[in-house]
Amino acid sequence: MSDELLELTRVTETRVEQPAVEAAETDSASGLPVIAVSAAASLALSACGGGGSSPNSSGPGDGSGNGGTPPVAPPKPLTETEAARFLVQAAVGITRTQIARVQAIGYAAWIDEQMALAPSTSRWDWLKTKGFDALTYRSSEAGMDQAVWRKLISSPDTLRQRVAQALSEILVVGIGGLNTDWRQFAACTYLDMLEANCFGNFRTLLEAVSTSLPMGVYLTFRGNTKFNAKTGALPDENYAREIMQLFSIGLVQLNLDGTPKLNSSGAQQETYTLDDIAGLARVFTGWEYDRTTSGAETPDFVKRPMIQIAARHETGEKKFLGSTIAAGTDGVQSMKAALDTIFAHPNVAPFISKQLIQRLVTSNPSPAYVARVATVFNNDSKNVKGNLAAVVKAILLDDEARNANSLSNAQFGKVREPIFRFLAWARAFNLNSVSDAWNIGNTSDPGISLGQSPMRSGSVFNFFRPGYVPPNSPVGNASLVAPELQIVNESSVIGYVNFMQRTVSQINTDLVPDYSSLLKLVGDPAGLIKELNLLLAAGQLSDATVSTIVSAIGGMSSETDVQKNNRIYAALTLVLAAPEFIVIK
């Protein structure tokens, strides 16, 4: 960690006045000490040191921004630590089974195997089997959180779940903005759609998003109608703006390596204007619910793509992004032509590639890394643009992701999102819902929970912006970004640690982890922490951190079953609060 980041840690520690481990209060629910609070307060706020290579540095590769070196094959045989590190980036969580599988077949074959797995029961189908399609749930969100958590925790296709979650934070829909009947079904069908397309083509995904009812409702173009000459009312421009700004090309012209293009005066160049938004908004008119085969008494209509109402569609000429859709073109063909134009824009490859790298590997990928992935986005070696399976594989196999030298680079990596901190524990210890209810609930409250909950972004701008820089921080001084720190503060850090302590202590008796492997090690503090270090932190805990935790739990009694469990709970909580767990490399 750099001197600047160590200083941020010290500053943070002085700002959070909470008791240390030795003087901690006892949690009334679990009876355990409320441990590691002051350490945890510094860990996530100082973890901004876990950004990636500076955008101005070359990192691994030639730094040319035009492809650089090809992905490098990993050394054979893979160690447990190498396999675990790969799974931190590629999976929802690390398990012993997946570590062994990666070691047995290698990175690339594991990716191929995961992509070939058949999807498990959809969120939509699970909601129906649990009876959430009863009319009593028509105006509620009931069941959504359970359906989403169940998939993230238990589905065998862990890579698909990881990528689908990443896409849900780029092509954002949040249940709070779904002002329609059957909101839980709308949210779940949107996630199911992302999952079904996450290894397909990005152009196909754009069309699926643009015709999905949840997106039509969320960004208010469902029911959008053409210009009204009598009232002067213009088409709603919300989706037209966001599909360009957030879902495809961004605000400024980009080079292939994701760096801004500059004009002769050295200034950045905008990708679109207000006229482009107005012209594109005319495309997204006439789209409406498809209730041709059922009404609102069942949720079926929210699953079907929207349909075109010809009388509401603007049939005049539409100009945007240097293209023209001729007058008289119907709504369906207008949308297809518009999406073709957007997809053809040179920004799409670097804009989407960089954000996927940020969600999976590192917050600050080098320009060369972005360029290599964007090159694959533009051509998967079979002259196909937008092949997301090839893009994901390129991201995970790239030398910058796999090179062990990145572990010692203080600017490489990313802050682990709160939901993935929870999921790391849940996956590692095979969390199961005894009743199949999965009542984890909405974990958005930063004071008492994770401060983040899937499908509950407060706006289309996601929980955090990809370019977020903590103000007045060493991150900004180093020209780095730390997106996840936008939802981090002293309250959220303490809330997270306390939430995880209660969770790992099995306060929710319906959610049962399997700690049998840890019980075998409970009498060996060093062996216990070694196992947790591998399964939770991919072996990245520092010697100092390991020593501190081993010493802390070694001082706890472990004679009775209760004492043994308490030693496990304390060890888990301390590892889950460690800086090297919060920052993944």
DSSP classification of residue 180:
S
Q: Strand runs (DSSP E) across 138-260, as ranges?
A: none
What value does the mean pLDDT take over residues 361-383? 98
In Å, the largest CA–CA distance within the chain is 83
* pTM of the shown model: 0.89
- Residue 100 phi, psi (nearest 5): -60, -35
- 356 lies in some domain: no
Give the confidence band of 72 by pLDDT, cuts at 50, 70, 90.
low
CB-based contact 584:50 (threshold 8 Å): yes
Give the confidence band of 35 by pLDDT, cuts at 50, 70, 90.
very low
Residue 303 sits in the same domain as residue 437 = no
Give the confidence band of 61 by pLDDT, cuts at 50, 70, 90.
very low
Q: What is the pLDDT of residues 471-529, one digit of tens each?
A: 999 999 999 999 999 999 999 999 999 999 999 999 889 999 999 999 999 999 999 99
> What is the Cα gyration radius of the chain?
24
Confidence (pLDDT) at 18:
36
Confidence (pLDDT) at 293:
86
- Can you state the percent helix, strand and coil of the chain, rounding each to 5? 50, 5, 45
Confidence (pLDDT) at 229:
82
DSSP classification of residue 504:
H
Task: Please tell me the distance from the alpha carbon of residue 487 to that of residue 447, in angstroms, as a whole number.
Answer: 12
Residue 441 sits in the same domain as residue 331 = no
Q: Strand runs (DSSP E) across 165-207, as ranges?
A: none
Residue 458 sits in the same domain as residue 558 = yes
Three-state SS at 19: coil
Which segment of 24-33, 59-68, 459-468 scores lowest on mean pLDDT? 24-33
- 298 lies in some domain: yes
| Statement: residue 288 has pLDDT above 60 | yes
Share of the chain above pLDDT 90, in %: 84
Residue 445 sits in the same domain as residue 326 = no
- 158 lies in some domain: no
| Boundary (domain end) residue, out of 297, 313, 344 | 344
Output 576 or 54, whichever has higher pLDDT.
Answer: 576
| Statement: residue 2 has pLDDT above 60 | no
| Statement: residue 228 has pLDDT above 50 | yes
Question: Which residues form the domain of 245?
Answer: 238-344
Task: Please tell me the distance from the alpha carbon of residue 496 to that of residue 166, in angstroms, as a whole number.
Answer: 21
Residue 434 sits in the same domain as residue 534 = yes
- 62 lies in some domain: no
| Boundary (domain end) residue, out of 307, 326, 344 | 344
- 312 lies in some domain: yes
Give the confidence band of 375 by pLDDT, cuts at 50, 70, 90.
very high
| Statement: residue 337 has pLDDT above 80 | yes
Task: Please tell me the distance from the alpha carbon of residue 541 to that of residue 493, in angstroms, as a whole number.
Answer: 19
- 539 lies in some domain: yes
Residue 553 sits in the same domain as residue 451 = yes
Record the tokens describing residue 47, joined without a space.
Answer: 């973890």
* H or E element in which residue 158 lies: helix 158-168
- 451 lies in some domain: yes
Residue 474 sits in the same domain as residue 334 = no
CB-based contact 444:452 (threshold 8 Å): yes
Neighbours of 431 (CB within 10 A): 21
| Boundary (domain end) residue, out of 344, 364, 380 | 344
What value does the mean pLDDT take over residues 467-472? 96
Residue 434 sits in the same domain as residue 301 = no
Record the tokens describing residue 368, joined without a space.
Answer: 């060369």
Give the confidence band of 53 by pLDDT, cuts at 50, 70, 90.
very low
Q: What is the pLDDT of residues 558-581, one digit of tens each?
A: 999 999 999 999 999 999 999 999
Give the confidence band of 39 by pLDDT, cuts at 50, 70, 90.
very low
| Statement: residue 37 has pLDDT above 90 | no
Output 12 or 91, whichever has higher pLDDT.
Answer: 91
| Statement: residue 16 has pLDDT above 70 | no
Which residues fall within 8 angstroms of residue 158, CB to CB, at 6 or more apart? 90, 91, 92, 93, 98, 114, 427
Confidence (pLDDT) at 294:
80
Q: What is the pLDDT of residues 144-172, one digit of tens each?
A: 999 999 999 999 999 999 999 999 999 99
Which segment of 59-63, 233-237, 511-515 scores lowest on mean pLDDT? 59-63
- 571 lies in some domain: yes
Residue 457 sits in the same domain as residue 339 = no
Record the tokens describing residue 270, joined without a space.
Answer: 């905008």
Confidence (pLDDT) at 48:
36
Confidence (pLDDT) at 60:
41
Which segment of 38-42, 83-87, 239-243 scores lowest on mean pLDDT? 38-42
Task: Please tell me the distance from the alpha carbon of residue 88 to that of residue 93, in angstroms, as a whole number.
Answer: 6
- Count, residues in the chain: 585
Residue 455 sits in the same domain as residue 571 = yes
Confidence (pLDDT) at 76:
66
DSSP classification of residue 252:
B
What value does the mean pLDDT take over residues 4-18? 33
Q: How many domains would you assign to the chain?
A: 2
What value does the mean pLDDT take over residues 420-425? 98
Q: What is the pLDDT of residues 172-214, one digit of tens each?
A: 999 999 999 999 999 999 999 999 999 999 999 999 999 999 9
Residue 339 sits in the same domain as residue 417 = no
pLDDT mean across residues, the chain = 90
| Statement: residue 56 has pLDDT above 80 | no
**462-501 burial: b if 16+ Cβ within 10 Å, else e:** bbbebebbbeebbbeebebbbbbbbbbebebbbbbbbbbb
Token pair 């599988």 is found at 101
DSSP classification of residue 60:
S
Nearest-CA neighbor of 398 among 126, 53, 158, 45?
53
Residue 448 sits in the same domain as residue 339 = no
Record the tokens describing residue 304, joined without a space.
Answer: 């079907």
